[in-house]
Amino acid sequence: MLFTSFVFLGLVLITFLLYYIPYFSKHQSLILIISSLIFYAYNQPVLVLLLLLSVSINIVSSFYVTYGVDRYKKLFAILGVGLNLSILIFFKYSPLVAHTFFKETSSFGEFLLTMPLPIGISFFTFQGISLVVDVYSEKYFKNTEIVPCSFGRHAERILFFKGFFPQLISGPIVKAHDFMPQICVKYVGDIQWEVVVKNLIIGYFLKMVVADNLKDYTFWISYPYFQSSSTLNLVAMLWGYSCQIFADFAGYSLIAIGLAKLFGYNFPANFNFPYISTSFKDFWKRWHISLSSFLMEYLYIPLGGSKKGKIRTYINLMLVMFLGGLWHGAAWSYAVWGTIHGFALATERFFYEKTSFKETRFILFLKGIFVFSFVSLAWLLFKLPNFEHVVGYVRSMANNFDIKPDTMPLIYILLYTLPVAIYHILYLLKERIVYKQLAPYDYIVYAFMLFLISVNSGSAGAFIYFQF
C-alpha cells in the first residue's frame, strides 16, 4: 500500500477517528497494530506471517533477556540478534547467494531464487536488533522499565513498536530506546497540527511532485537508452536522479514523521539537507541518519570504532560501509557502492589527519561540489545494478558530445529539481534577516505546494527504498 494511494488515506482517516475516541483510549496500540497489519498485508497477505515471526523472535528474546535466568540472558540476546539476521539474510540474500555460488541448473540454487522478498524486511529487522541490544545493554533504560512483566502486554508493545505502519516498510529505523518510552495514551488535543501538516505537505510534495515526475526522465538512464543520449542529457539525468532519490526518500521519511506525529509519536529526522555536505563524514551525518546512526551504534562502535588504532579505524569504516551498502540490496553493485563510500570516508579521514589548511568559503564550496558529484556518480550503481552499464553510462557521458541535446527533458529536469535546490539553499539562508522576515508568510509556500500536489503530481511510483 503506497502512502500516496487513496486506499491509504482512507485507512489513516479511519484509524485516526477510532484512535482518538475516548472509549478506545486504552486500546490505542491495538488499533494501530490492526491498521499496520492491514497496511502490510494489503499487497502480499502471506508475508504478514514473516513479520509476525520476526516480531515473535524479538518478543521472546527481549522478554527472557529481562526476566529469564541470569546466566542465559546473554545467550537469549545473541540468539535474538542472530535469528533476526538469519531471517534477513535468508529472505533477502538468497538470490544473491544463488547467482554467485550456484550453477543455474542447480536445484538448490533454483530454490533460493524462489524466496520472496518481504517488503521492509531490512528496516524492521534492524529495529528488532536495536530492541534486543538495548534491552540487554540497559544503556538507555532499565529493561524492566520498558519490558512489562506480563508477556501478553510485552508482546503487544513489541508488535506495535516493530509494526507501526509509518515506518514499517521504509523507515526511519526507529531505535527501541527512542520509541518504547513514548508508548502511552495519546490525546487529540496534544496533536501538534502545524508540525504534522508541514511534514506531510513537504513530504508529499517531494514525493508526488518532485520524485514522481523526475522518475519519468531518469528512466532513460537505463540501459540501453543512455547510449543514444547526448552528454548534456546524461549529466542532467544524473543530476535529476540525485534529486529524485533524495526527494523520494526524504519525502517518504517526512510523511512517516508527520503521520507518527498525528498519532502522538516522535520519529527522529532522517535527512538533514545532505546535499550541502562539504565532506563525506558530514554527508553520512545528514543522509539516511537513522541507518548511519544504527550502524555507528550497533556495528562501528562495537567493532572498536576509532579507538583501536588508525588501520583498524579504516578497516572498520570500510567494513561498516560495505555491509551498509549490502543492506540496501541483494546485489554486488550495492556492496560496491557502500565500499566506495567507505573508501571515501577512510581517505578523507587519512587526509584530514595528515594535512590542515584554512577552509575558506571558496574551498568549502569546491568541497561541496566534489562531494555532491561523487555521491551522484555513486548513485549510478543504484540505478544500473549491472556494473558494465555503469561504465557504459560514464563512457557515454564522455563520448556523446556530438549527439544533439534534447532540450525539453533538460527544461523539465531543471524545473523539478529546483525545489530540491531551493530546499537546501533556504536551509543555508535560515539565519539571514530576509529569511526571518519572510518566515511568517511561509503558509503561502505550503499552500502552493499543496496546490501542486493536487494538480501536478507525477504518476505514482513505488518509493525507491521499498526495494531495500
Partner 1 sequence: MVKKTLFVAFVFFVSYAIFVQFFAPTWWCASQNLWQENLVKAQAYIYNKDFSKKNIIIGSSLSERIVMDSLPHTINLAFGGLGVHDGLNILLHKEDLPSVILIEMNYVLRAENSEFNAVINNPFLELPRKNIVALREEKQPVAIFGKLLNEIKLRLQNKSRSIDENSSLGEDVFSKLLQNQVVEYSEVPDSLFVEKTFENMKSILQFFESKGVKIVFFELPTNPELEQLPRAVAIRTKFYQVFPTNRYFYVNLNSEMIFKTTDGVHLSRSESIVYTEYFKSQLTHINL
Residues labelled as active-site residues: 328
Q: How far is the CB of 164 from partner 1 (least distance, A)?
A: 24
Cα 288 to chain centroid, rounded? 5
Distance CA 298, CA 300 (A): 6
Q: Is 104 in the site for partner 1 (CB under 8 A)?
A: no
Q: Is 363 in the site for partner 1 (CB under 8 A)?
A: no
Out of 110, 145, 194, 359, point to the residue binding partner 1 (CB under 8 A).
194
Q: Is 67 in the site for partner 1 (CB under 8 A)?
A: no
Closest CA to 162 of 57, 296, 41, 68: 57
Out of 409, 417, 420, 423, point to the residue binding partner 1 (CB under 8 A).
409
Assign 264 to helix, strand or coil: coil
C-alpha grid cell, residue 64: 527472557
Which residues between 174 and 193 bind partner 1 (CB under 8 A)?
A: 193
C-alpha grid cell, residue 124: 524492521
Out of 14, 21, 366, 444, point to the residue binding partner 1 (CB under 8 A).
444
Out of 65, 135, 201, 234, point to the residue binding partner 1 (CB under 8 A).
201
Asked whether the beta carbons of 209 and 449 are under 8 A apart, the reply is yes
Closest CA to 53 of 86, 27, 23, 29: 86
Out of 411, 421, 425, 429, point to the residue binding partner 1 (CB under 8 A).
411
Out of 403, 435, 438, 467, point to the residue binding partner 1 (CB under 8 A).
403
Q: Is 438 in the site for partner 1 (CB under 8 A)?
A: no
Q: How far is the CB of 467 from partner 1 (least distance, A)?
A: 15
C-alpha grid cell, residue 306: 576509532
Choose one: 68-76, 99-107, 143-151, 455-463; the region binding partner 1 (CB under 8 A).
455-463
Q: Is 461 in the site for partner 1 (CB under 8 A)?
A: yes
Question: Which residue type is seen at 60?
Answer: V
Q: How far is the CB of 92 from partner 1 (least distance, A)?
A: 25
DSSP-derived secondary structure for 340-357: HHHHHHHHHHHHHHH---
Choose one: 57-65, 116-124, 273-281, 448-456; the region binding partner 1 (CB under 8 A).
448-456
Distance CA 81, CA 130 (A): 9
The footprint of partner 1 on this chain (CB under 8 A) covers a number of residues equal to 38
Angle at 263 between CA 261 and CA 269, to 5 degrees: 25
Q: Which is nearer to partner 1, 79 or 200 (CB)?
A: 200
Q: Is 426 in the site for partner 1 (CB under 8 A)?
A: no
Q: Is 213 in the site for partner 1 (CB under 8 A)?
A: yes
Q: Is 152 in the site for partner 1 (CB under 8 A)?
A: no
Radius of gyration of the chain (CA): 23
Handedness of CA 113, 116, 120, 123 (dihedral sign): negative
Out of 69, 311, 408, 434, point to the residue binding partner 1 (CB under 8 A).
408
Distance CA 207, CA 466 (A): 13
Q: Which is nearer to partner 1, 196 or 235 (CB)?
A: 196
Closest CA to 84 of 115, 51, 112: 51
DSSP state of 459: P
Q: Is 6 in the site for partner 1 (CB under 8 A)?
A: yes
DSSP state of 360: -
Q: How far is the CB of 185 from partner 1 (least distance, A)?
A: 24
Distance CA 38, CA 44 (A): 10
Per-residue b or e along 178-214, where b marks 16 or more CB atoms closer than 10 Å to that residue's CB? bbbeebeebeeeebeeeebbbbbbbbbbbbbbbbbbb
Q: Is 448 in the site for partner 1 (CB under 8 A)?
A: yes
Q: Is 467 in the site for partner 1 (CB under 8 A)?
A: no
Q: How far is the CB of 396 from partner 1 (least distance, A)?
A: 10
Q: Is 227 in the site for partner 1 (CB under 8 A)?
A: yes
Distance CA 181, CA 209 (A): 36
Distance CA 331, CA 72 (A): 37
Q: Is 456 in the site for partner 1 (CB under 8 A)?
A: yes
> Which residues of the chain form contacts with partner 1 (CB under 8 A)?
6, 193-194, 197, 201, 209, 213, 216-217, 219, 224, 227-228, 402-404, 407-409, 411-412, 415-416, 442-444, 446-448, 450-452, 454-456, 459-461
